[in-house]
């Protein structure tokens, strides 16, 4: 059974870099061709996709965060990481990692195939404050 666990500092100072790691257990991160996503949730709000990485190293990011986000993968240690630079109080949120079942292929109507995010970490709260 695949499990995922986020780790990293719970408190980050404004203007600094938020760094989180998601460790995957129960399966190899580079098996199955999965995508691995980061999602966050501001207090009392909905879910916001931050970005993904494929085991091959390809990435995609939310345009609203793209200038500040880097997601990387370490297949030897079976984890992937999130870095968010120049944080402000607006980055205070619960951060989740998830296994993302989007496909590389499109259907006959030109829509990318997507089967949801089936495994999630428990989430880690990050507060940005001095």
Q: Which residues bind other proteins (CB under 8 A)?
A: 46-49, 60, 62, 96, 98, 101-102, 107, 109, 111-118, 120-123
The Cα–Cα gap between 33 and 16 comes to 33
- Measured from the CB atom, is 80 or 121 closer to other proteins? 121
> In the bound complex, what is the minimum distance in angstroms from residue 90's beta carbon to other proteins?
18
> In the bound complex, what is the minimum distance in angstroms from residue 33's beta carbon to other proteins?
16
> In the bound complex, what is the minimum distance in angstroms from residue 94's beta carbon to other proteins?
9
- Measured from the CB atom, is 74 or 114 closer to other proteins? 114
Task: Count CB atoms within 10 A of the CB of residue 15.
Answer: 11
Distance from chain centroid for Cα 107: 26
Residue 76 in tokens:
């030897």
- Measured from the CB atom, is 49 or 55 closer to other proteins? 49
Task: Count CB atoms within 10 A of the CB of residue 76.
Answer: 8
Is the separation of the CB atoms in 21 and 81 below 8 Å?
yes
DSSP string, 103-129: EEEE-TTSPEEEEEEEEE---EEEEE-
> In the bound complex, what is the minimum distance in angstroms from residue 22's beta carbon to other proteins?
12
- Measured from the CB atom, is 10 or 130 closer to other proteins? 10
């Amino acid at each position: 059974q695949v499990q995922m666990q986020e780790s990293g500092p719970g408190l980050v100072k404004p203007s600094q870099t938020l760094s989180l790691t998601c460790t995957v257990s129960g399966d190899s991160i580079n098996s199955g061709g999965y995508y691995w996503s980061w999602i966050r949730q501001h207090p009392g709000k909905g879910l916001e996709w931050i970005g993904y990485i494929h085991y091959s190293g390809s990435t995609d990011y939310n345009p609203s965060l793209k200038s500040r986000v880097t997601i990387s993968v370490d297949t030897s240690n079976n984890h992937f990481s999130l870095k968010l630079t120049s944080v402000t109080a607006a980055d205070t949120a619960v951060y989740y990692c998830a296994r993302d079942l989007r496909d590389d292929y499109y259907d006959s109507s030109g829509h990318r195939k997507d089967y949801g995010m089936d495994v999630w970490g428990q989430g880690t709260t990050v507060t940005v404050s001095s």
